[in-house]
Amino acid sequence: MESPQYVWAQADWPQLRYDSTRVAAELALARRAQGVVEGILAALGFRERTDLAAEAWAQEAVSTAAIEGERLDLMTVRSSVARRLVAAGHKGPNAPRHVDGLLDIMDDAVTRAREPLTRDRLCAWQAALFPTGYSGMRRVQTGSYRDSDAPMQIVSGREGNETVHYEAPASSQVPAEMERFLAWFNSAQDDPVLHAAIAHLWFETIHPFEDGNGRVGRAIIDLALARDAGETSRLVRISQRLLEKRDEYYDELNHAQRGEVDVTRWVLWLVAQVRAAWEQAAVVVGASLERARFWAAHANKNLSDRQRKAVNAMLDRGPGGFEGGMSTRKYESLTGASRATASRDLIELDQLGVLKQVGSGRSTRYYVNLAAWIPSERPQHEQRT
């Protein structure tokens, strides 16, 4: 069977281009969404911003691994992030070496975003993913570009009945291909979001490593975005978004890698994902601001740890997050309190103005005392219709 014509085999490779007029509108939306997040962040304190960054970082690490089919324990990842970002001396379960390696890569991409991307740096990133030199039971070439004579193929299906989705340039071509890529990456002056889109496609097309290309390629997106947004870029969960759109992600990459050097469709798609990730970040950051303002308004209230835990859980869930509101039974389950204590705590929270009671008797429910979070009370016959 004749090999397909991949983009890297085109005569004008690697002169990847896109229609700037078509891309402009989507890019403007992404920039607007980014501005919303940056505006909300300006109203938050250092602790709130740090907590948001820590959670986003942990979720991103889990997501970028999950795209490759690897499951990481979120609590372990959170603990490792906390030791790095939140609190020195934080005690928690030690993360496996490959998890720490992934977090090292992600941190390096953000904190050293303005430094040149080099062969040594990329090789160090890839080696950090496989500290034992193995991926599961399989030996992996680490810390260097692939050099096998065998073709680098992306396949699916059982052995003997595989489907080849993509075949990368031969290993002998990789050093020269990567030299051109790195020269472009470090000198290009285009918008960082567009730069991220082209860079990810170009890197994944070369596929320079024996394994780990996806995670390294997404770290390159992080680096490109961080050159513009700095530490704020930790909040844009692009890997989480790509995980949500995993099939589309692979389909769009595959389409671009099998097409012409005009990659407008790919650029439009990835910019749209960046926009969506910023919009999701705005929701998370906005909720944090609302929570901060809520506690500032109730700073003089003397609440028990049990009560604070319950209220924070309700705030974390957002409006309607506790479906049907907080009940005595839910409070018992959440805090471990007895039925009598739960009832007493909730009544007190209502009297203090922290929660708002709705209904009576067995239908009594409590909601966070924010106007938009409290359902309107209607006559009983209206509730049944």
The verdict on residue 164 lying in a domain is: yes
- Domain boundary residue among 285, 316, 331? 285
The 3-state secondary structure of the chain reads CCCCCCHHHCCCCCCCECCHHHHHHHHHHHHHHHHHHHHHHCCCCHHHHHHHHHHHHHHHHHHHHHHCCCCCCHHHHHHHHHHHHHCCCCCCCCCCHHHHHHHHHHHHHHHCCCCCCCHHHHHHHHHHHCCCCEECCEECCCCCCCCCCCCCEEEECCCCCCEEEEECCCHHHHHHHHHHHHHHHHHCCCCHHHHHHHHHHHHHHHCCCCCCHHHHHHHHHHHHHHHHHHHHHHHCCHHHHHHHCHHHHHHHHHHHHCCCCECHHHHHHHHHHHHHHHHHHHHHHHHHHHHHHHHHHCCCCCCCHHHHHHHHHHHHHCCCCCCCCECHHHHHHHHCCCHHHHHHHHHHHHHCCCEEEECCHHHCEEEECCHHHCCCCCCHHHHHC
Tell me, yes or no, whether 182 and 265 share the same domain: yes
The verdict on residue 291 lying in a domain is: no
The verdict on residue 293 lying in a domain is: no
Query: Model confidence at 91, in pLDDT bands (50, 70, 90)?
Result: low
What's the domain range around 333? 298-384
Mean pLDDT confidence for 255-272: 96
Tell me, yes or no, whether 172 and 105 share the same domain: yes
The verdict on residue 228 lying in a domain is: yes
The verdict on residue 160 lying in a domain is: yes
Tell me, yes or no, whether 125 and 59 share the same domain: yes
- Domain boundary residue among 258, 285, 312? 285
The verdict on residue 290 lying in a domain is: no
| Contact call for residues 64 and 306 (beta carbons, < 8 A) | no
The verdict on residue 23 lying in a domain is: yes
The verdict on residue 275 lying in a domain is: yes
- Percentage of the chain beyond pLDDT 90 is 71
Say which residue, 1 or 18, is predicted with more confidence. Answer: 18
* pLDDT of 160 over the 90 cut: no
* pLDDT of 251 over the 80 cut: yes
Q: Which of 76-85, 124-133, 154-163, 296-305 has the highest mean pLDDT?
A: 124-133
pLDDT for position 87:
58
Instruction: Specify the CATH number for the domain of residue 367.
Output: 1.10.10.10
Mean pLDDT score of the chain, rounded to an integer? Answer: 90
- Domain boundary residue among 246, 261, 285? 285
Query: Model confidence at 382, in pLDDT bands (50, 70, 90)?
Result: very low
**pLDDT tens digits, residue range 132-156?**
999 888 999 999 999 998 889 888 7
Tell me, yes or no, whether 211 and 354 share the same domain: no
As a whole number of Å, the end-to-end CA separation of the chain is: 65
The three-point CA angle 7-8-14 to 5° equals 100
Tell me how far apart the alpha carbons of residues 215 and 201 are, in angstroms, rounded to a whole number. Answer: 13
* pLDDT of 39 over the 90 cut: yes
Tell me, yes or no, whether 344 and 263 share the same domain: no
Query: Model confidence at 4, in pLDDT bands (50, 70, 90)?
Result: low
Domain count across the chain: 2
Mean pLDDT confidence for 103-109: 96
| Contact call for residues 278 and 272 (beta carbons, < 8 A) | no
Residue with structure tokens 């910023």?
A: 278
pLDDT for position 384:
36
pLDDT for position 92:
60
Region of residue 210 (phi > 0: left; psi between -120 and 50: alpha; otherwise: beta)? alpha
pTM for this predicted structure: 0.84
Tell me how far apart the alpha carbons of residues 333 and 364 are, in angstroms, rounded to a whole number. Answer: 17
Tell me how far apart the alpha carbons of residues 367 and 239 are, in angstroms, rounded to a whole number. Answer: 34
**pLDDT tens digits, residue range 166-214?**
899 999 999 999 999 999 999 978 899 999 999 999 999 999 999 999 9
* pLDDT of 379 over the 50 cut: no
Tell me, yes or no, whether 90 and 234 share the same domain: yes
Instruction: Specify the CATH number for the domain of residue 121.
Output: 1.10.3290.10
